[in-house]
Every structure is written in C-alpha cells, then in structure tokens.
Chains A and B, each alone.
Chain A
Amino acid sequence: MSLPATAHDVGLSHEARSFWSRYVFSTDHKVIGLQYMFTGMVMALIGGFMAYVFRMQLAFPDQVVPLYGLVTAREYNALVTNHGSIMIFWVAMPVLIAGLGNFLIPLMIGCDDMVFPRLNRLSYQIFFVSAVILLLSLAAPGGGFGGAWTAYPPLSASAQYNHTPWGAPLWLLAVALEFVAFLLGGINFTVTVMNARAPGMTAMRIPIVVWMIVIASLVFMASVGPLVAGAVMLLLDQVVGTRFYDPKAGGDPLLWQHLFWFFGHPEVYVVLLPATGVVAEIITVFARKKLFAYKTILGTSIATGIISFFVWAHHQFVAGIDPRMAHLFTITTLLISIPLAEMMFAFIATLYGGSIELATPMLWALAFIAEFLIGGVTGIFLGANATDIYFHDTYFVVAHFHYTFFPIAIIATFAAITYWFPKMFGRRLNETLGQWHFWGTIVSFNAIFIPLFLTGAAGQHRRIYSYESFPQLSTPWLNQLAVLATVALIVLLIFQVIFLANFFWSMRRGEPVGANPWNANTLEWSAPSPPPHGNFATMPTVYRGPYEYGVPDRELDYWPQHVPS
C-alpha cells in the first residue's frame, strides 16, 4: 500500500497514543462498545451481589449475611430497588444494545465507525456518570432509594414517605442521565444504519441483529419521552415540593404509573429484540443453514415493536384502572405473543434439518429459546387480568420476569460474548470451561426460579422483608423453597467465577484465531481479529444476504456477503 509521508506520520503518532487516549477517551466504536460491555459486567456483579444479600435475608431472616452483615428493612428495600434498576438499565441496556450495537453495527454494515464518533463517546461518558451517581446514591444520607424500580408515587414523591431525601432524587437523576445516554446512542445507531451502509448492503441484506438493535433503539426513543416528562415532574415533586402526583392537590398518582409503564413495557422489548437478534445470528451459523423466513422475522420484530406500545397497562390491573381498559389491554397483551411465537417458530424451523454443532454459543442460543419460552408462557397468566389479580405482586411475577430477563440479559449476553469473543480479542475462549459454565449457570438458574413460581402460586408476596411476621406465608415447605432458591443463586454466582477466569485468561492466552473462526457470512468476519481502527483493509462491497449457508452446488458451505459471485 503506497502512502504519502504525512499519513505515515499520523499513523506513527497514532500507534504511540497513551493508554488514556486509546482506551478511555477513544472515539473508536469497538473500544466504546467494550467500555459499555465491561461497565455492564461490573454492574452485573454488583447487582448479583445485591441479589445474594436480599435472598440470604429471605432464606435466613434476620441473620448476619456473610460479606455484608445484618440487613435492615430499609436496606432490604434499597437493595431490591437497585438490583432491579441496575440489572435493567445498567446491565441489559448497555451490554445488549449499547455494547453489542457499538461493536457490531459498523462492522456488520461494512463501514469504519459510527457516523458520530464523538457523540458516541459522549453517550458512554454520560452513561458512566449515571452509573457512578447510582452507586453513590447508595451511600447518601438516609440510604439508597427503596421505592422499587417502578418508583410509584406517593412513596417515591416525598421523603416524608420514603425516608431517602437524597437517595430518591439521585436515583431518578441517574436513570434520567442513563436515558439521555441511550437516546444519543440510539440516534447514532439509527443514522449509522440508515446512511453508512456498505455499497450493496440493501435493507433486506442487513443482518437480523442489526435490524433488531435499530428497532429496539427506535422503540426506546419513542417510548421514553413521556417518562422523561414524568421524571421531570417527579423530580420537582421530590426536590421542590410541587404536587403533580398528589391527588389531594389535583394531581394523579396513576398518571405516573401510566407514564412509567408506557415506557417500561416497551423497554422489555427494547432489550428482548437485540437478544433474539443475537440468537438468530448464532443458530444460523451453528446449524449451517439459511435463516428461515428472514422477512417474516423482520416483520414480527417490527410488529412486536409496534404492539408493545399498546400493552403497558397490564402492569396496573390491580391499580384501580378502568376495568373496560383492563380488558382491552388483556387482549393486546395476548396478541403480542403471536409475533414472538412466530419468531421462535422461525428459529426452530432454522434448526430443523441443519447440521447442528453444539459449541458454547449455540448452547446459549438454544437455552435462550427454551428458557424464554417458559417466561413467555407464564406471562399469559399475568397478561390476562382475571388471573393477574391473584398473581399480582407475588413471587410468581418475579419468577416470570426473571424467566424473560435472565435469558435476555444473561443467556443472550453470554451467547453474544462467546460468539464474538474471537472477533473482539483475536483469541478463542476455552471450550471446556465454557461448557462447564453453561451447564452450571443454566441448571442453577432454573433451580432459583422454579421454586419461586411455587411460592408465588402459594401466595408469597414479593415486597416482604421477613416472612416471620406472616405465619401463613412462613410454612416449612415455603421456607425450604426459599432456601433452595437462595442456595441455587449462590451456586450460580460461583459458576460465574469460571466465566470470568475463562474470559480474562483467554483474552491474553487463548488460542489465536484468524479472521473467520466460525466460517460465518456476515461482514464483521471479513475484518481482521481484532479489527484495527478503521476496521477493514479495503471497504467491503456486499453481494448477497447474510445467511447463505449450505448453498447447493457450492464447494464451501458458507458464502460470505463480501465475496463476489
């Protein structure tokens, strides 16, 4: 490659950049993606530790928790609240959307970076500040916010009720900053995919995971607006003393619930869609078969995104909403399972007749389908208003949404990390450790939440700090189930040590791989592993769709997008 002398100089100074400008203040989409991913992993460990502490309190009430101490009722509330907030806003969102989106979008659509690299860096910095504020809020006078991640007023609106004059506003501020970060990021993703595609990358040739991340960003953007307005009102209620949510003054607490869930329910699909996109990529590579019904899957994800705006009030069936509206929301909620079921069927059809290779990423992807199915089916009981009135706020709900969120935020994330790890670091993860970690995680996950379905069906309410004050809910059978769930959680956390060891060991010592270790088609595998700044030696041109596996009359069973026919 012949280069002008000045360009060489630039290149040399580029190589000599310091650690800070290279890894901390970089505008490279891959570095920012990994920053999001590592921040998300740290937050996941914090959130997991919180789960450990309050599960210990539930299993062994009022005893000293190792590594923590005695859990007071107020601390218990703060732990549960922040566990939920962290796992959704600071784990699922940054890892699945921001992390994967940043790392994958430019590579998969064949360009050198995001269209707004500095905006991208800004969005990570805002996100980082929001995480710091959230963690600091736990140490604020009065403790961290304990009004649940849904922050219903009047409990959240007045320090008189929640006793956290600093914790509540700081929590809200952290969430608001996190929204800003993802709005900026989402606009960047959307514009990048719309405008910066490689020549030949038509809409129907974009890999499904990129489509899903963009649809998720748009659903987030469209749903979060009213909550931003609502959060401004709540912050004023907390800090200034207005009474937007005070019925005595003419405000309305139900308004917040609606504004929250108008965002909160689409948010489920915001994190779900990228996860299913990851699964689609992986099963087609490891089944060596064309993705079944690309257009149908795309259509179902758009349908899911749109219907998700019509279902929110199923979270409020017991909040006293108009029963006629409750019926409508029951119908729309049951409707949204149709596109998702269709998507799952398309995945199963992709597997049918494929030459399936059960490598670690494929195991995670298959586990996603199986576990998410349980989450989806148990959701029917909660989406229907008649049964929800009984199940509302029991551990059944907790088990249900962990059967949706765990596959999304943990299983699909592990699928993505194990699949793209060679691209991220140029080395392979250890397969044996990966399989150990997989089975340990999956078995213990089910052992946590199947018992909670039972305790929930038996009537255990989810917001109780110690069941000793409720003898009917403190039977030996229910207590044994609670202990089982807690022990399983500890096992699950211990198994993550295997993953962390594997991850950091393989990052430096793993078996080096070439550009395309999985023989996959999408463009990121045509770049070197790890891709340099600028990604591609020559910018790729796209000649076909991303899923041409096992094409008859071809020597290779895959057909990369950038290879001319």
Chain B
Amino acid sequence: MSHAADLHAAHVPIATRRSATGIPTARLAVWWVLASEIVIFGGLIGSYVMLRLHHPHWAEEAAHTNTLAGAFNTFVLLTSSLAAVLAHQAAEAHDGPRAARFLGGTILGGLVFLLVKGFEWSNEIAHGFTIFRDVFWSYYYVACGLHGLHVIAGMVIMAIVAADARRGRNLHRVELIGIYWHFVDAVWIFLFPLFYIAK
C-alpha cells in the first residue's frame, strides 16, 4: 500500500478537536454566527429607526399594534429562554432526558409565540393594516417576519438537539442552541419597544 493510502487509513479528524483559543470550536462558531446576525438585524432596525424619526405620522400607525400581545410574547420568550438555560444546566449535569424536557418547554414557548403572532397578524390584516398600507407596516411585517423565521429555525434545530439529548448524545449542543435562542430573545427585546411601545 502506498504511503498516501497509509495516511488515509490512519486519518482521524484533528482540526475539529483542537482549541487554541480555549473556547470550544462549536461555541466559537456560534459567536461568529451571532456576530453576523447582529449586523443583519442591526441594518434592518437601523434603517427602520431613521425612517421612523423622519416620519412623524408613523407614530399614529404604530398606535394600532397590539401592545398587550407584544408584552405577552416578550414574557413567553423570556420564559422559554429560562427553560433553555435550565436545559443547559441539566446538560452540564449530564442529565440528557432532563435537558430534553426543558428544551421541549422552550420549543413550546416558541410555538406559543408564533401562535400569538399569527393571531396578531390575522387581526391586523383583517382590519386593513396590511404590508402595503404604509412603509411602517412593511417594516413591521418584515422585522417580525425575519425574527419569526429565526424562531422557527431555532425550534427545528432545538427539536433535533433535544432528540439527541434524550439519548444522552451531543449534550454540548444544548448550550449552543441555547445561546442562539437567547440571541433571538434579545432581538425581540429590541423589536418590542420599537414596534409596540413607542407610539
């Protein structure tokens, strides 16, 4: 067998297991993902804020958003974040099934969030506040929609991570999906005053 074939045979992945910075590779990657997400949401929110300051009449449009539903959703997301961080705690204790249960709670939180959002949107559209009515509403639907897509993506990944965690596999991923989920929560923390409180 040639020398090259020997190399192939002996090959076990090395790069993935190195950690020159001291931060585990996967978590470091999640931080960079969040860094790239910050600028995406930052660009959207930044352009919304400057147009909002430019158009006084947007405040009247904003008066039609449902503050109570928004506040309830903030509460739901904060609670789901708590469940995610408790899942992380359970994963640290190598208790996979417990971590999976908490992650289930987080997914449930995401589901409630989306249901409330769906209720809000259908109500608003029924009353004529569609995406076409005004650029304010375009921003409202795009910002909340982009955030909602992040919620859905997080729920899907979390379901996969939870299924693994239940069997005690890949427990380090519980922390990673948690970090992402907290970030989605933090984005909502800013979207809430921007679209629901400032009237």
A interacts with B:
yes
Q: Which residues of A contact B (CB under 8 A)?
A: 1, 3, 7-8, 10-12, 14-15, 106, 111-117, 183, 187-188, 190-192, 194-197, 201, 221-230, 232-233, 236, 240-244, 249-252, 255, 259, 262, 528, 532-534, 537, 539
Within 8 Å by CB of A194, from B21, B44, B47, B132, lies B21
CB contacts (< 8 Å) of A223 on chain B: these are 39
Report how far A262 CA is from B3 CA in the complex, Å. 50
Q: In the complex, how many angstroms separate the beta carbon of A373 from the nearest chain B beta carbon? A: 32
- Chain A CB count within 10 A is highest, among B4, B9, B55, for B9
- Which residue of chain B lies nearest to A6 when distances are taken between CB atoms in the complex? B9
Question: Which single member of B9, B19, B136 contacts A10 (CB below 8 Å)?
Answer: B9
Contact between chains at A113 and B43 (CB < 8 Å): no
9 A–B contacts from the bound complex (CB under 8 Å): A112-B14, A113-B14, A116-B29, A191-B32, A221-B36, A225-B38, A243-B138, A250-B135, A533-B7
Q: Does B93 contact A (CB under 8 A)?
A: no
Chain B: minimal CB distance from A205 (Å): 12
User: What are the residues of chain A within 8 A of B40 when measuring CB–CB?
Assistant: 225-226, 228-229
- A252 to B10, Cβ gap below 8 A? no
Query: Which of B1, B3, B44, B55 has the most CB atoms of chain A within a 10 A radius of its CB?
Result: B44
A14 near B8 (CB under 8 angstroms)? yes
B6 touches A11 (CB 8 A): yes
B46 contact set on A, CB distance < 8 A: 226
Known contacts A7-B10, A229-B41, A533-B8: does B134 contact A249 (CB below 8 Å)? Answer: yes
Mask: chain B, 1-32; 1 = CB below 8 Å from A; 0 = not: 10111111111011110111101010011001
B146 within 8 A of A: yes
In the complex with contacts A11-B6, A232-B142, A252-B51, A533-B20 CB distance below 8 A = no
What 0/1 readout, one digit per residue, does chain B (83-103) give for beta carbons within 8 Å of chain A?
A: 000000000000000000000
Size class of B's contact patch?
A: 35 or more
**Choice from B4, B9, B15, B43 contacting A3 with Cβ under 8 Å:** B9
Contact between A225 and B25, CB atoms less than 8 A apart: no
Q: Is the CB of A192 within 8 A of B15?
A: yes
Say yes or no for B131: interface residue by CB 8 A criterion. Answer: yes
Q: Is the CB of A537 within 8 A of B3?
A: yes
Bound-state Cα–Cα, A251 to B6, Å? 63
Residues of B near any A CB (own CB < 8 A): 1, 3-11, 13-16, 18-21, 23, 25, 28-29, 32-33, 35-44, 46-47, 50-51, 55, 131-132, 134-136, 138-139, 142, 146
Q: Top 4 A-B pairs ranked by shortest CB distance?
A: A225-B39, A226-B43, A11-B9, A229-B44
Bound state CA distance, A371 and B146, in angstroms?
44
Q: Which residues of A contact B21 (CB under 8 A)?
A: 194-195
Q: Chain B contacts of A230 at CB under 8 A?
A: 43, 47
| A116:B16 contact, CB within 8 angstroms | yes
Task: Give Cα distance in the complex from A441 to B134, angstroms.
Answer: 54
Are B20 and A250 in contact, CB atoms less than 8 angstroms apart? no
The answer to whether A111 and B42 touch across the interface, beta carbons within 8 angstroms, is: no
A117–B42 Cα distance when bound, in Å, is 30
B135 touches A249 (CB 8 A): yes
Q: Is the CB of A241 within 8 A of B20?
A: no
**B43 contacts which chain A residues (CB < 8 A)?**
225-230, 259, 262
Known contacts A222-B39, A240-B131, A528-B4; is-contact A195 B138 (Cβ 8 Å): no
Question: Taking chain B's interface residues, is the majority helix, strand, or loop, or is none over half, making it mixed?
Answer: helix
Interface of A is mostly: helix
A-B contact count (CB 8 A): 166
A502 vs B135: C-alpha distance when bound (angstroms): 56
Q: Hey, which chain A residues are within 8 Å of B37, CB to CB?
A: 225
A221–chain B nearest beta-carbon distance, Å: 5
Taking CB atoms, residues of chain A closer than 8 Å to B3 are 528, 537
**When chains A and B are docked, how far (Å) is the Cα of A201 from the Cα of B15?**
14
Q: B18 touching A244 by the CB < 8 A rule?
A: no
Q: How far is the CB of B6 from chain A (nearest CB, A)?
A: 5
Q: Which residue of B lies closest to A225 (CB)?
A: B39
Chain B residues with CB under 8 A of A528:
3-4
Beta-carbon contact of A225 and B32 below 8 Å: no
A262 to B43, CA, bound (A): 10
**Contact across chains for A11 and B131 when beta carbons are under 8 A apart:** no
Bound Cα distance A488, B25 (Å): 50
Assess the B42–A226 pair: CB atoms within 8 A. yes
In the bound complex, residues from chain B placing their C-beta under 8 Å from that of A114 are 15
* Cα distance, A233 to B47, chains bound together (Å): 11
Q: Which residue of B lies closest to A9 (CB)?
A: B9
Contact A221 B35 (CB under 8 A): yes
The residue of chain A having its C-beta at the shortest distance from the C-beta of B42 within the complex is A225
- Cα(A225)–Cα(B55), bound, Å: 24
Out of B8, B55, B146, which one reaches A534, CB within 8 Å? B8
Known: A195-B21, A537-B7. A221 touches B132 (CB 8 A): no
Contact assessment for B9 and A232 in the assembled complex, using a CB-CB cutoff below 8 Å: no
Does A194 lie within 8 Å of B20, measured CB to CB? Answer: yes
User: Nearest CB to that of B21 among chain A residues?
Assistant: A194
Residues of chain A contacted by B28 (CB below 8 angstroms): 191, 194-195
A11-B8, A187-B36, A222-B35 known; A250+B55 contact, CB < 8 A = yes
Name the residue in A111, A229, A250, A528 with the highest tally of chain B Cβ atoms < 10 Å from its Cβ.
Answer: A229
Q: Tell whether, in the assembled complex, residue A532 and residue B4 are in contact, meaning their CB atoms are under 8 Å apart.
A: yes
Tell whether, in the assembled complex, residue A255 and residue B10 are in contact, meaning their CB atoms are under 8 Å apart.
no
Q: How far is the CA of A15 from the CA of B6 in the complex (A)?
A: 10
Give the Cβ gap from A212 to chain B, nearest Cβ, in Å: 18
- CB-based contact A11/B134 at 8 Å: no
**Residue pair B39, A191 in contact (C-beta under 8 Å):** no
Contact B1 A11 (CB under 8 A): yes
Closest to A228 in B: B40
Q: What A residues does B55 contact at CB under 8 A?
A: 250
From known contacts A195-B18, A225-B38, infer whether A236 and B8 are also in contact, taking CB-CB under 8 Å.
no
With A114-B15, A116-B29 given, name 4 new contacts (CB 8 A). A113-B15, A229-B40, A240-B131, A250-B51
